[in-house]
Amino acid sequence: MRTDRDTDDIAALCELEKKVLWLASWTIHHANHLRENNDGLKVGGHQASSASLATIMTALYFAVLRPQDRVAVKPHASPVFHAVQYLLGKQTREQLEAFRGFKGAQSYPSRTKDVDDVDFSTGSVGLGVAQALFSSLAQDYVRAHGWGLERPEGRMVALVGDAELDEGNIFEALLEGWKQGLRNCWWIIDYNRQSLDAVVREGLWERYEQLFRNFGWNVVILKYGSLQQAAFKEPGGEKLRQWIDNCRNPLYSALVFAGGAAWRKRLNDEIGDQGDVSRLIEKRSDDELAALMNNLGGHDLPSLLEAFRNADNDRPTCFIAYTIKGFGLPMAGHKDNHSGLMTPAQMETFRRAMRVRSGHEWDPFEGLSLPAERLKRFLDRVPFAAGGGRRLKASEIEVPPELPSAFQAVTSTQTGFGTLLNEIARTDSDFARRIVTTSPDVTVSTNLGAWVNRRGLFARQAMADTFKSERIPSTFNWEFSPKGQHIELGIAETNLFILLSALGLSHSINGERLLPIGTLYDPFVARGLDALNYACYQDARFIVVGTPSGITLAGEGGAHQSIAEPLIGIAQDGLASFEPAYVDELAVILAWAFAYIQKSDGEISEHTWLRDETGGSVYLRLSTRPIEQIARAMTPELRQQIVDGGYWLRKPGPNCQVVVAYTGAIAPEALAAVGLMAEDRRDVGLLAVTSADRLNAGWTAAQRARERGRVHARSHIERLFAEVPTHCGIVTVLDGHPATLAWLGAVSGNRVRPLGVEHFGQTGSLADLYRSYGIDANAIVAAAQAIAPGRPIRHLKALPQP
């Protein structure tokens, strides 16, 4: 039943809907026609896509959403989002005028770059949709652990393009959501039956409906608007409904584009000789007929409000809202409208139709029928805007400066990682409680088993380990409870990264900090790479562990051996990457990482020229190869150098002819090579590189700083190389792509011979593979002899022929 308040709301909402459409369209027009724009890319996609969602977003933001709700907005509806925020006083005219310009409002909603409180960034279609789902799971996790209960539970909402549902990651998320008992999540599908290039297949909604119901979702189909519903009740109305139901998507779109007269002709041709329905058509003018046929559920405020308000439970709900791409604009319905921009002449007509005076385009209440005062009062009462700033804050969790550790003399970094987490699991501290681990079905094989045994698996409902209750011995205790600290995922790596993205934003979304760690096999980082990039782009904070890695995983062959990941580690923004060789290094890096992922807003470090105070996420590439550990005391200096990216394991002497720089599991080969050439090359240096990424980033930043006048800026690698003579050759080696370390030669102008893996690996023993790929001790010696001429190195053996 509707109350007076609702009627009042609807009048105001109708006005705001017009204003939102106008402002979004004007923002786009401004960026295209009134500002210099020479990137060759038109922004038509925004125009038609925005119009498609304008009604739905008006209903949501101005009436339905509450402050605790969070939204991922379909990328191309960004202008609508900015227009809504503008009306709510959270976005500025300057930003809108600079839409797509330098530091202006972003083309795709961005948490990190926009000023108007974007909840979740979007851009790569499909990922924001999954982010809403996983954020709901993250919220459940936080609350099940007793945190943030003073705040109301929010709903995680995604505004989804219908073609966005082509992205497989959405279905991966859907399945995972079902397994995890998803709640409080809405996906609102903008069913305009158009994608970027074309009109979508017939009957997709039926597939979607079935699919969502199969996964336990509520499905609400918003097909007919209130005008249509009323018309269906008129004599002949049922015929009209049948015609609409049977009309193919491309034809409907084409008629929307063509307008009232075309509708009349078509309807008369097809159902016009049937008495009642003819009268139904005839009694409407062309404009009224067009308004009726365009009145789909997704453009009808009363139907939308009713549907949203009726969904007042916590079941995941999918709304399939029929819409028209380009609704209200001259390109409405045209299949080419994705790149269709309004011409200045069309904009002029639109401006007049909207009763906006020239020069008053940005005025919030210009040309509306209701008095500005009344609309202002309405806006002041909008529930969504009531909560103040939407970015919550959580204090930093204190991290022990050193992690408890006791390692075996011969061990691998992966085993060390398991041991370190197991030790943390024994402790009872806020730090240990805030850690949450997750893995896509590789929990045990990435060495998280001991941690999980102690801290348990997370589920909202407790579930006993049947093997344990049946008293069948097993190494692993697989018990689920609301207190568990490990979220076990299915194999989809993209889900892992989106979950990390959701857990890693908990401080800002839930006001409760988590310390998330995700593990996966290193080669499959590539499988989830876009999602990892997405998570970093929105500044989510987590630690990701890629293990096992490289051809060191000898018996597994090319399918499981990672090659390119060290380069990903260098190139991925927002991710500090490490590949330690020894477990004591790992312990230092991990302790540092727990603090680093919590940092924000600081200054760029004067010491290393890295972003140590602004923080970011961390990637650890670990190996299963057991190697002999170095018995040494950890000094503060060594600790700092490990974090900065490298240290001299053997300092080069003043006459140094060769430096060997290595990363990761290949350390024993590098050590052995230095031994083999010691008699024939002077003062050989051995550089342990714990982070090619941080060395490289620091070097680049220091150069940039010097070019901008800070003449004393020095990076860590420059300081390390300060004593290395320029005639000295550098051999670099790692179990990964050689380009990772090849740049080291450019730091002080040394010749460099980078060794590594460039081609898909194969099965074999470790010795077979290292020899074959040229990263064993003998290959290092051969490279040294080639770039650091001198007497023949006696221990050098002939290399295998390729």
Binding interface with ligand TPP (CB under 6 A): 49, 52, 75-76, 124-125, 161-164, 192, 194-196, 325, 338
At closest approach, how far in Å is the CB of 527 from ligand TPP?
15
CA angle (174, 224, 166) in 5-degree steps: 30
For residues 149 and 196, which CB has a smaller minimum distance to ligand TPP in the complex?
A: 196
Distance (Å, whole) CA 27 – CA 790: 68
Q: Which among Mg ion, ligand TPP, none contacts residue 164 (Cβ within 5 to 8 A by kind)? A: ligand TPP
Q: Which residues pair with 729 in a beta bridge?
A: 658
For residues 161 and 316, which CB has a smaller minimum distance to ligand TPP in the complex?
A: 161
723 residue type, one letter: E
Q: Which residues pair with 575 in a beta bridge?
A: 617
For residues 128 and 440, which CB has a smaller minimum distance to Mg ion in the complex?
A: 128
The H-or-E segment that residue 198 falls in is none
Candidates 53-61, 157-165, 281-289, 479-487: pick the segment binding Mg ion (CB under 5 A).
Answer: 157-165
Instruction: Tell me the CA distances in angstroms from 119 to 70, 147, 347, 390, 395, one per residue in order.
Output: 6, 20, 31, 8, 20
Q: Which among ligand TPP, Mg ion, none contacts residue 124 (Cβ within 5 to 8 A by kind)? A: ligand TPP
For residues 531 and 733, which CB has a smaller minimum distance to ligand TPP in the complex?
A: 531
Distance (Å, whole) CA 328 – CA 350: 9
Taken in order 212, 213, 217, 219, the sign of the CA dihedral is: positive
Distance (Å, whole) CA 351 – CA 120: 32
For residues 193 and 507, which CB has a smaller minimum distance to Mg ion in the complex?
A: 193
Whether the CB-CB separation of 723 and 680 falls below 8 Å is answered with no
For residues 264 and 325, which CB has a smaller minimum distance to ligand TPP in the complex?
A: 325
Q: Which among ligand TPP, Mg ion, none contacts residue 729 (Cβ within 5 to 8 A by kind)? A: none
Query: Can you spell out the DSSP letters for 473-507?
Result: --S----EETT--EEEE-S-HHHHHHHHHHHTTHH
Query: Can you spell out the DSSP letters for 355-409?
Result: TPPTT-TT-TTTT-SS-HHHHHHHHHT-GGGGGS-S----PPPP--SS------S
For residues 194 and 494, which CB has a smaller minimum distance to Mg ion in the complex?
A: 194
At closest approach, how far in Å is the CB of 165 from Mg ion?
9
Whether the CB-CB separation of 57 and 73 falls below 8 Å is answered with yes
Q: Does 164 bind Mg ion (CB under 5 A)?
A: no
Q: Does 192 bind Mg ion (CB under 5 A)?
A: yes
At closest approach, how far in Å is the CB of 492 from ligand TPP?
16
At closest approach, how far in Å is the CB of 164 from Mg ion?
8
Q: Does 161 bind Mg ion (CB under 5 A)?
A: yes
At closest approach, how far in Å is the CB of 328 from ligand TPP?
14
- Other C-beta atoms lying within 10 Å of the C-beta of residue 221: 18
Q: Which among ligand TPP, Mg ion, none contacts residue 477 (Cβ within 5 to 8 A by kind)? A: none
Distance (Å, whole) CA 695 – CA 691: 6
At closest approach, how far in Å is the CB of 107 from ligand TPP?
10
CA 83 from centroid of its chain's CA atoms: 24
Q: Does 194 bind Mg ion (CB under 5 A)?
A: yes
Distance (Å, whole) CA 170 – CA 130: 6
At closest approach, how far in Å is the CB of 161 from Mg ion?
5
Q: Which among Mg ion, ligand TPP, none contacts residue 547 (Cβ within 5 to 8 A by kind)? A: none
At closest approach, how far in Å is the CB of 192 from Mg ion?
4
For residues 41 and 410, which CB has a smaller minimum distance to ligand TPP in the complex?
A: 41
At closest approach, how far in Å is the CB of 306 from ligand TPP?
24
Q: Which among Mg ion, ligand TPP, none contacts residue 422 (Cβ within 5 to 8 A by kind)? A: none
C-alpha gyration radius of the chain:
31
At closest approach, how far in Å is the CB of 193 from Mg ion?
7
Whether the CB-CB separation of 161 and 155 falls below 8 Å is answered with no
Whether the CB-CB separation of 465 and 478 falls below 8 Å is answered with yes
**Residue list 267-326, contact with Mg ion (CB under 5 A):** none
For residues 52 and 519, which CB has a smaller minimum distance to Mg ion in the complex?
A: 52
Q: Which among ligand TPP, Mg ion, none contacts residue 338 (Cβ within 5 to 8 A by kind)? A: ligand TPP
Q: Which among Mg ion, ligand TPP, none contacts residue 125 (Cβ within 5 to 8 A by kind)? A: ligand TPP
At closest approach, how far in Å is the CB of 106 from ligand TPP?
13
Q: Does 337 bind Mg ion (CB under 5 A)?
A: no
For residues 168 and 371, which CB has a smaller minimum distance to ligand TPP in the complex?
A: 168
At closest approach, how far in Å is the CB of 249 from ligand TPP?
12
Q: Does 361 bind Mg ion (CB under 5 A)?
A: no
At closest approach, how far in Å is the CB of 545 from Mg ion?
38
Taken in order 254, 260, 262, 265, the sign of the CA dihedral is: positive
DSSP secondary structure code for residue 153 in this structure: P
Q: Which among Mg ion, ligand TPP, none contacts residue 76 (Cβ within 5 to 8 A by kind)? A: ligand TPP
- DSSP-derived 3-state class of residue 551: coil
Name the residue whose CB lies closest to ligand TPP: 161
For residues 528 and 664, which CB has a smaller minimum distance to ligand TPP in the complex?
A: 528
What contacts 507, CB < 8 A, 6 or more positions away? 392, 393, 394, 513, 514, 541, 598
Q: Which among Mg ion, ligand TPP, none contacts residue 70 (Cβ within 5 to 8 A by kind)? A: none
Q: Does 110 bind Mg ion (CB under 5 A)?
A: no
For residues 52 and 494, which CB has a smaller minimum distance to ligand TPP in the complex?
A: 52
- DSSP-derived 3-state class of residue 600: coil
194 residue type, one letter: Q
Q: Does 162 bind Mg ion (CB under 5 A)?
A: yes
Q: Which residues pair with 185 in a beta bridge?
A: 156
Query: With 0-12 CB in 10 A as exposed, 13-18 as middle and 19+ as buried, what is 511?
Result: middle
Whether the CB-CB separation of 539 and 111 falls below 8 Å is answered with yes
Q: Which among ligand TPP, Mg ion, none contacts residue 641 (Cβ within 5 to 8 A by kind)? A: none
Q: Which among ligand TPP, Mg ion, none contacts residue 403 (Cβ within 5 to 8 A by kind)? A: none
Distance (Å, whole) CA 705 – CA 713: 6
Strands (E), 695-777: 729-734, 752-755
For residues 52 and 501, which CB has a smaller minimum distance to ligand TPP in the complex?
A: 52
At closest approach, how far in Å is the CB of 339 from ligand TPP?
11
Whether the CB-CB separation of 46 and 31 falls below 8 Å is answered with no
The footprint of Mg ion (CB under 5 A) covers 161-163, 192, 194
